[in-house]
Amino acid sequence: MHGCRLGQIRVLEAFLAVIVVFGALLLSRPIYTSYDDSVDQEILYSIGMNVLMHLDQDGDLGRLISQRDWTEISSRLSILLPIGVSYNLTVYDEELNILNNSPILSGDLNAKGVVSIQYVVVDRESLNLYIVRLQLAWVK
C-alpha cells in the first residue's frame, strides 16, 4: 500500500517536471522570436544605411534628386540592395513636401518587419537639402 502511494507521487513529480520544462520553453519563446526579429531589423537597417551612403558618395544622390531622375535612383537601389529585400523610397524637400511624383519601389512592403531609414541628402551644385525615407522589408 505504502509502495503504491510512493509510485503515484513519483508519477506526479514527473508530470510536474514536464510542466515546468514546457512552461519555461513556452515563456522564453516569444523573447527569442522578438530577438530574431530585432536582429533581422538591425541587418536591414545596416544594409539600407550602407546603400544610402554608397549612393550618396561624392553627392551623387543629391544630384540625381535635383535632376528628378527617379528611374536612375530606382535602378541603382535595385542593383545595390540584395535579392529578397523590397523597398520604397520617398524624397522630401526642405519644407517636407514629397518630391517624387512616381513611386520608387520594388516588391511588396506589407510584411511585418518594415524598417524605415531617414537620411539627409545635400545637392552639391544647388546646395538644396533633402530628406529621403527608405523603407525596407524582407520578402517573405
Residues that bind other proteins (CB under 8 A): 20, 24, 28, 31, 34-35, 38, 41-42, 45-46, 49, 52-53, 56, 58-59, 62, 94, 117-125, 127, 129, 131
Letter string b/e over residues 77-113, b meaning 16 or more CB atoms within 10 A of that residue's CB? beeebeeebbbbbbbbeeeeeeebeeebbbbeeeeee
What is 64-75 written as a DSSP string? HHHTT-HHHHHH
Which amino acid does the sequence have at 36?
D
Measured from the CB atom, is 33 or 108 closer to other proteins?
Answer: 33
- Fill in the amino acid letter for 74: S
Q: How far is the CB of 122 from other proteins (least distance, A)?
A: 4
Q: Which is nearer to other proteins, 43 or 109 (CB)?
A: 43
Least separation in angstroms between CB 24 and other proteins: 7
Give 45 or 114: the residue with its C-beta nearer to other proteins.
Answer: 45
For residue 106, the minimal CB distance to other proteins (Å) is 22
Q: Which is nearer to other proteins, 15 or 108 (CB)?
A: 15
CB of 50 to other proteins, least distance (A): 9
Q: Is residue 116 a contact partner of residue 122, using CB atoms and an 8 Å limit?
A: no
Start-end of H helices in the chain: 2-55, 60-66, 70-80
